[in-house]
Structure 1
Amino acid sequence: MAVDDFKLTKEKDWQVFQNITAKHEEYFENMRKNLDKASKVERFIYDIIGDYLWDINGSVCEDPDFQLGYYWDGKFSDYAEELQEQINNAKYVIINLFVKYLRNKSEINDLTLTEIDDESLWLWNGGKTTLRSFFSHKKRTRRELRDLLKNSSYYSFYKLAPIMLVTPHYIFLHAGVLSVANFNDPKIYEEYRRNYYTAYLNGFNGFRLWAREEYFFDKEGRYFAHNQTGKTIVTGHTSTCFVSGHFDDGRKLDSTPKSYCVVRKIQYDS
């Protein structure tokens, strides 16, 4: 269960956190340095390790209190042990990535070295499984499935769909918006990015596609934000089992088991 208001406050815990994240980053970066980026198989492994390092290390170091409380249920020791275990079993990481390459060899070898970077992120995030779910009855390669998708009604609908759909009573989008009256003004997102150094949100489109706690909570990150848009906001992106926090009226919303991601409503009485 996610832990609200988790804080990594003990000096010895901070020291362990800094040591293990630095050790983990250095270990896997040294592995990357020994890979030949002119080789397609090694470039593929190099890029996936880079994506992995951001997920498990970079994003946590950027906001440790939130990340450790949200994704590791406030169990800092579990996170530290996981990083050490991954260092101890690094050879299996390489073996598993090589197997993943072999399973997609013909498709990856058709790509340029630059394209492999996008392909590795796509595979790391389960893209092939998603793609196959559209055409589960067809035994095709990823490239063939991709071509099928591009000529399907799914893709036509996707290309026509806006990032955000605003109706008289609802706002539909992937991640979220700033809960203010002028939520549709790109300028306020650029200002937010500058003031709060959320470079990864990358302005208006980035916020609407990738925001999590920036959308759910007020600017101080203490309470769920009051929705001042005048509309009901319907979003996805963040697994609902992870959503937890405090309302400024004293109420609390707890997270749920990770196997129980249901539609959840975050709402003030007025």
Structure 2
Amino acid sequence: MSKENFKLSNKADIALFEAVTTAHEKYFDRIQSKIKINTKAKSLIYNALGDYVYDMNGCFLDDPDFQLGWYYDGDVRNYATQLLNDIENAENIIANLYLLYSKNKADFRNVAAEYEETKDTHHYMSDVSADYYNYIGGAVISCKPTYQDLMTLNNHDLDELNSILKECDLKPVSMFNIEKIAS
């Protein structure tokens, strides 16, 4: 349910909104800056993180009254909680984006990881990342990946995911944790 005609006017809410959007954007910008875009998986994650930050920050900064009213019923604290939860669960975001890449590898066969590689192709990853990010969506991207999804990863994929998580200074996924999710 949305709260039409919501107006962000309470000083405490404005301060909270500004603080949490700034912290969230800085945090994910830092993660993006650590990703070395040398594989298609990393390129998708890098670009989809940009789409996610725009979706959860940029759109809200552009029109906070509408966005907060429509998606959070005007409750700035719920929005702040969502962004803080996403920061706390950044490894889930990376894992979910990697799982999305892994499930759709065939789609990326003719997509270049970096712009410089596009000499022989018509698209590069930032052209398609938003479509794949929208498949997950900002509201659920930080949810813990399911056991069934994680079990679709082969050893190479799990190693690649963990290398990306380590590159970003995030906690890697272990088979022990995967088994723990199952129980």
2:32·2:46 contact (CA, 8 Å) conserved in 1?
yes
Structure 1 residue 89: deviation in Å?
A: 0.5
User: How far 1:41 sits from its partner (Å)?
Assistant: 1.2
Number of residue pairs the alignment of both structures matches: 127
Displacement of 1:11 in angstroms is: 1.2
Checking the alignment, whether the CA contact within 8 Å between 2:97 and 2:133 is kept in structure 1 is no
How far did residue 108 of structure 1 move? 1.6
Q: Is the 8 A contact 2:7 2:65 kept in 1?
A: yes
- 1:73-128 CA-to-partner distances (Å, cap 9, x unmatched) read 1111111100000001111111111111111123324311342112211222239x
2:132 paired with 1:123: yes
On the 8 A contact 2:36/2:42 being kept in 1, the answer is yes
Residue in 2 that maps onto 1:95: 95
> What runs of 5+ residues in structure 2 fail to find an aligned partner?
116-123, 137-183
1:43 and 1:64 map into 2 onto residues whose CA distance is 30
Letter in structure 2 aligned against 1:120: S
1:38-79 per-position Cα deviation (integer Å, ceiling 9, x unaligned): 322111100001111111110001111111011211111111
Percent identity over paired residues: 35
TM-score norm. by structure 2 comes to: 0.65
More helix by share: 2
For residue 112 of structure 2, what is the aligned residue in structure 1? 112
CA RMSD of aligned residues (A): 1.6
**Higher relative contact order at CA 8 Å, sep ≥6: structure 1 or structure 2?**
2
SS in 2 for 1:126: helix
Residue 2 of structure 2 corresponds to: 2
> Where do 1:183-198 residues align within 5 Å?
none
SS for the counterpart of 1:37 is coil
Larger Rg: 1
**How do residues 136-151 of structure 1 correspond to structure 2 at under 5 angstroms?**
none
Distance in 2 of aligned mates of 1:43 and 1:126: 17
Unmatched tracts of structure 1, length 5 or more: 128-270
